[in-house]
Amino acid sequence: MTSTSPAAVPAPQRNDPSFDTVWDEIVYRGLVHVSTDQDALRQLLAGEPITYYCGFDPTAESLHLGNLVQLLLLRRLQLAGHRPIGLVGGSTGLIGDPRPTAERVLKSREQTAEWVSKIRVQVEKFLPAGGDNGLRVVNNLDWTEPLSAIEFLRDIGKHFRVNSMLKKDAVSARLNSDAGISYTEFSYQILQGLDFRELYRTFDCVLQTGGSDQWGNLTSGTELIRRTEGVSVHAIGTPLILNSDGTKFGKSEGNAVWLDERLTSPYAFYQFWLNQDDADVVDRLKVFTFLSRVEIDELATQVAERPFTRDAQKRLAFEVTSLVHGLDATRAAIDASAALFGQGDLAALPAEVLSAAVDELPHSEVPADTTVAQAFVATGLVASLGAARRAAAEGGVYVNNERITDEATLVMSLALHGRHAVLRRGKKTLAAVTIAV
């Protein structure tokens, strides 16, 4: 079985032994955009196990693809023997990391606590617990909430210089905007610095990871520890993942690709990866999969020599969807993708998988008395009822992969699970209808 077969077993979660150190591997995979002293980090990560952390704020009820970059970096360091801490921001989530554009809408304590619980479960899914370097999850509300305002200002705030705080990218952008920035969001970097110091004091944590757009917040912690503890600790900022055209990865018309299957179905998740551009797919394989350097090089060659097979995209989609949603959900997504184009049995798909697939197609909700011809017009597959009749007469009208010659047939009579019908004109042009209830 080839490495690109959709039926392959996902790559085992392990670091590539062809690299001398885990530092060398994460640099190869493009996971280091900015960092503290690189030579010191390389030596640190090649030595005795250290404790390191990444923070995840509950700004939504689920993590997304940007967070997956951090989770996979944490996992690679864990596989090298180091000890991960996943910090879920019960306090920082109440404040809100300043965005470059506008003030965040503050969430209630109840909603924040609910989202903290959900995100904790997601973090635990990717980083095994137990053993000498099992995952430890902490909530920064535990040490922030007991602090009085006086203690916060005297013991923490005095170590921060306003002129340095003003230089942080997000703060600077907001100061130059009409919206300005509130003292609440301005103080966020102090809270994140406090987190690092607390984890250093409690667990001897000496490394924090995060997105490069968080670099100012990451260094607030290294600076606080240097000032109060007299030691040097480290930070790694991962690059923002962009598409080859410069657009933000994982965003389409403002919609994130979520790790929670209720927000982004496994089918939609699989399709997202399957649709990656040839110019981006090799970089995605490096960041988001555990494939070895040799396997990635082989797939890169296939992209260069046989891009029409899309083997790299298929393997990428298989690996990442299996990682996030499991092998069964991935195989169901593959089966649905094949069945839509007549290479499988649509009727055999579970209702939830078929519904997710329909949601990704151009689709319309239609009444129960809708004919096939009317359904084709409603979804835009044809321009008129006359065009639908001609297409049916020419053998180019399919409903649920069955050729339909009588365009007056009620689509309800063909619906799967009593609700959905997949329409196809010719070999490749797809749409769907859902029967209104």
CA 295, 301, 304, 308 torsion-angle sign: negative
Q: Are 77 and 161 in contact (CB under 8 A)?
A: no
The pLDDT of residue 341 is: 82
The pLDDT of residue 251 is: 66
How far is it, in rounded angstroms, from Cα 70 to Cα 222? 19
Residues 368 and 233 in one domain: no
Q: Which tokens hold the place of 125?
A: 């899914």
Residues 234 and 366 in one domain: no
Q: Are 233 and 225 in contact (CB under 8 A)?
A: yes
Q: Is residue 44 part of a domain?
A: yes
Over 90: is that where the pLDDT of 176 sits? no
Q: Is residue 24 part of a domain?
A: no
Q: Is residue 347 part of a domain?
A: no
Instruction: Write out pLDDT tens, residues 335-384.
Output: 999 998 888 889 999 999 999 999 989 999 999 999 999 999 999 999 99
How far is it, in rounded angstroms, from Cα 206 to Cα 197? 9
Domain boundary among 238, 259, 285: 238
Residues 189 and 57 in one domain: yes
Q: Is residue 389 part of a domain?
A: yes
Residues 372 and 231 in one domain: no
The pLDDT of residue 245 is: 82
CA distances from 239 to 26, 95, 129, 145, 311 (A): 12, 25, 27, 32, 26
Q: Is residue 354 part of a domain?
A: no
Q: Are 57 and 64 in contact (CB under 8 A)?
A: no
pLDDT band at 50 (very low <50, low <70, confident <90, very high): very high
CA distances from 411 to 45, 52, 224, 312, 407 (A): 62, 57, 66, 38, 9
CA 15, 19, 20, 26 torsion-angle sign: negative
Instruction: Write out pLDDT tens, residues 274-332.
Output: 999 999 999 999 999 999 999 999 999 999 999 999 999 999 999 999 999 999 999 99
How far is it, in rounded angstroms, from Cα 319 to Cα 332? 14
Number of domains present in the structure of the chain: 2
Domain boundary among 212, 238, 264: 238
Domain extent at residue 129:
31-238
The pLDDT of residue 80 is: 98
CA 402, 407, 413, 419 torsion-angle sign: positive
How far is it, in rounded angstroms, from Cα 388 to Cα 399? 13
167 or 335, greater pLDDT:
335
Q: Are 311 and 317 in contact (CB under 8 A)?
A: no
The set of residues, in sequence order, having a beta carbon less than 8 Å from that of 91 and lying 6+ positions away, is 139, 140, 141, 144, 145, 191
Over 50: is that where the pLDDT of 7 sits? no
CATH number where 384 lies: 3.10.290.10
Q: Is residue 305 part of a domain?
A: no
H/E stretch holding 145 reads: none
Instruction: Write out pLDDT tens, residues 95-153.
Output: 887 777 777 788 899 999 999 999 999 999 999 999 999 999 999 999 999 999 999 88
CATH number where 56 lies: 3.40.50.620
Number of residues assigned to the chain: 437
Q: Is residue 221 part of a domain?
A: yes
Q: Is residue 435 part of a domain?
A: yes
The set of residues, in sequence order, having a beta carbon less than 8 Å from that of 223 and lying 6+ positions away, is 159, 164, 193
Residues 49 and 198 in one domain: yes
Helix, coil or strand: residue 191 = helix
Domain boundary among 238, 262, 296: 238
**Mean pLDDT in residue range 33-45:** 97
